[in-house]
Amino acid sequence: MASKLREKLVDTALELFYDQGFHVVSVDMILAEAGISKPTLYKYFRSKNELILAALRRRDEQSRNWLMREMERRGSKPREQLLSLFDTLGDFFLTEGFRGCMFINATVEFPQLDDPIHQAAAEHKRIFGRHIAELVDKLNVLVPEELTEQLLILMEGAVITAHVSQPKTVAQQARQSAEILIDHALQNSTHTKHENP
């Protein structure tokens, strides 16, 4: 029962934070939505910020697992998986209640680099970035770090553009750009190998 109450608090907070923002949503709003008393909240979380961190951890687990699973399902090879990232994001952009990236939103509301909430959001980006880097490494391009950074910039730009102006083609445009970048990197690698047998 105790763990179910904690889970309900985290799930409710996650939904409200994503929909309305971290600062706007009060503890009382979360309690009212979850139907849980304030003493029960403070039994599990010493502060609202602790609850925010728990919500971010839940979102991190959910979003990374979903993205990585979908990329693997939609593509069997590294190039296909990297491109399918943008197809998967395209589906995300069209979901009801899309409010951009919760982690980008967190860094905006908590801009100090040493803030634990900012750090938790940045860590999510680093972990997913490592997954992209692992796929890029399998392509055997000349400068994998450069291609990885380019693809991550494309991803973040697509998310922000979709959030701000919501064009339906943003994921498709980002995918086309990613395809150009990947193929260019592969071609450069092939040319160099031929020049240096």
Structure tokens at 26: 């009060």
User: Architecture of domain 56-195 in CATH?
Assistant: Orthogonal Bundle (1.10)
* 93, HSE (Cβ side, Cα atoms, 13 Å): 25
> Residue 161's Cα: distance from chain center in Å?
14
pTM, two decimal places: 0.90
Q: For the chain, which residues make up each domain, given as ranges?
A: 56-195
- Check residue 189 and give its pLDDT: 75
- Check residue 60 and give its pLDDT: 96
Structure tokens at 60: 């991190």
Nearest to residue 69, comparing CAs of 56, 55, 86, 88? 88
pLDDT tens digits, 157-191: 999 999 998 778 999 999 999 999 999 999 987 65
